[in-house]
């Protein structure tokens, strides 16, 4: 039996969605974030030493890291390759690219954006606030803003002539991309500048498997 260790409002929503797309049965154990630090609770470290979401267990196997979980589930339960191009197919390379780009490249500036927005929201003595705001403003102007613009411009361009990231068909790479794409939109990216990206988000929300997975845990919100 597959169990998804799901931290609320986290990357593991993708695993729930994938399991619904594959029509597999699974159990979900929901963990709450620490209200102050937003970190995962210590119980998750009892499952995997890093204690980060997602983690799945499949009988005695423990698997962490969303990309590795997706590959494991497809290797084991999607042998007909319904959610990825078959090895050797033309779209297999772009599929691999987007599967890895999501966590390897796109998430980076978005995590920095989240950290600096938390720093700006922190309760600080009034005389420290202008200094902190100045630093945050500089990091935004020099790094976060240009990087996020670069990535969203790239994705917008890539989606000009194809409906899904890897080509004409919906794949698990779209599932992996969904979280960082939406994280950017909740962290200040203006959707009207990226209509194809916004359209991607609208279309994934319409998928029955997305709706089923979201209904299973309540709400798929993303920390902003």
Ligand X SMILES: N[C@@H](CCC(=O)N[C@@H](CS)C(=O)NCC(=O)O)C(=O)O
What residues make contact with ligand X under the rule CB under 6 A? 7, 10-11, 39-40, 52-54, 65-66, 103
Residue number, 45 or 138, with CB nearest to ligand X: 45
Paired tokens of 112 = 């920095």
Return the residue matching tokens 């994934």: 204
Q: How far is the CB of 54 from ligand X (least distance, A)?
A: 6
25 burial via Cβ count (<10 Å: 0-12, 13-18, 19+): exposed
90 burial via Cβ count (<10 Å: 0-12, 13-18, 19+): exposed
Alpha-carbon distance 51 to 12, whole Å? 12
Q: How far is the CB of 34 from ligand X (least distance, A)?
A: 8
Q: How far is the CB of 99 from ligand X (least distance, A)?
A: 11
Q: Evaluate whether 102 touches 95 at the Cβ level (below 8 Å).
A: no
Alpha-carbon distance 180 to 187, whole Å? 10
Q: How far is the CB of 59 from ligand X (least distance, A)?
A: 21
Cα 44 from chain centroid (whole Å): 19
Residue number, 97 or 156, with CB nearest to ligand X: 97
Residue number, 39 or 135, with CB nearest to ligand X: 39
Q: How far is the CB of 11 from ligand X (least distance, A)?
A: 4
Residue number, 53 or 171, with CB nearest to ligand X: 53
Termini Cα distance of the chain: 33
Q: How far is the CB of 114 from ligand X (least distance, A)?
A: 10
Return the residue matching tokens 């966590």: 103
Nearest CA to 71 out of 104, 90, 91, 95 is that of: 95
Q: CB neighbours (10 Å) of residue 103? A: 17
Residue number, 116 or 167, with CB nearest to ligand X: 116
Residue number, 183 or 204, with CB nearest to ligand X: 183
């Amino acid at each position: 039996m597959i169990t998804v260790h799901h931290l609320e409002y986290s990357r593991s929503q993708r695993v729930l969605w994938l399991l619904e797309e594959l029509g597999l049965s699974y159990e979900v154990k929901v963990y709450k974030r620490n209200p102050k630090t937003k970190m995962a609770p210590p119980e998750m470290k009892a499952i995997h030493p890093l204690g980060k979401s997602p983690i799945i267990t499949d009988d005695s196997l423990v698997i962490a890291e969303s990309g590795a979980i997706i590959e494991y589930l497809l290797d084991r339960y999607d042998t007909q390759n319904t959610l990825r191009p078959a090895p050797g197919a033309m779209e297999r390379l772009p599929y691999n690219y987007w599967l890895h780009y999501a966590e390897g490249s796109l998430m980076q500036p978005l995590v920095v954006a989240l950290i600096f927005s938390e720093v700006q929201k922190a309760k600080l003595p009034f005389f420290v606030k202008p200094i902190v705001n100045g630093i945050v403003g500089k990091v935004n102007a020099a790094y976060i803003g240009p990087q996020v613009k670069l990535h969203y411009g790239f994705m917008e361009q890539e989606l000009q002539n194809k409906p899904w990231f890897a080509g004409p068909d919906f794949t698990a790479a779209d599932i992996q991309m969904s979280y960082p794409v939406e994280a950017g939109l909740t962290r200040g990216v203006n959707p009207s500048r990226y209509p194809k990206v916004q359209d991607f988000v609208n279309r994934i929300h319409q998928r029955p498997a997305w709706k089923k997975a979201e209904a299973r845990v309540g709400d798929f919100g993303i920390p902003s």
